[in-house]
Amino acid sequence: MSSPSNPVVSPADLDEVVVYDSGGEEFEHRRHGSIRDRSQVFLCKQVEALTTSLAVREGELRQAREDHDVARTEKEAMEQERNTSVCVVTERALEVQGLREHLTQMEGQPAGEAEGQGRVPEGDAVTTRSLAP
């Protein structure tokens, strides 16, 4: 009975393994994927992993852009609200200032004139009658 010969190179390193018995007859024949086939599979797996990683990064970038847009919109809204508040406060301050000036002017005038009495346009005289008996 024939026995297989001892291999010189590991069968895993070869594309095709043919084992012969001592009489030169083929005892076993195994075909492995070629190194080139393995390299293509390895490269395909790398491309797949890189494509997945790129998709994840693009998703993260898209989310960051959306977050930035939301933050910018909120900032603009807050600035608009602040500007509106500043305008309202400024208007009220001007009103108060005007009222104080008017009050100061009224305090410097005689009592009747301060209320708009005692002065008649175009120099007409005002007659007052006493209602006392």
Per residue in 36-73, pLDDT (tens digit) is: 667 778 888 899 999 999 999 999 999 999 999 999 99
Per residue in 88-121, pLDDT (tens digit) is: 999 999 999 999 999 988 888 765 554 555 454 5
Straight-line distance from the first to the last Cα atom of the chain, in angstroms, rounded to the nearest whole number: 161
Of 19, 22, 21, 44, the closest CA to residue 31 belongs to 19
In this prediction, residue 40 carries a pLDDT of 78
**What is residue 16's three-state secondary structure?**
strand
In this prediction, residue 43 carries a pLDDT of 87
What is the C-alpha separation between 99 and 112, in angstroms, rounded?
Answer: 19
Strands 16-20 and 26-31: antiparallel
pTM of the model: 0.42
Contact between 17 and 29 under an 8 Å Cβ cutoff? The reply is yes
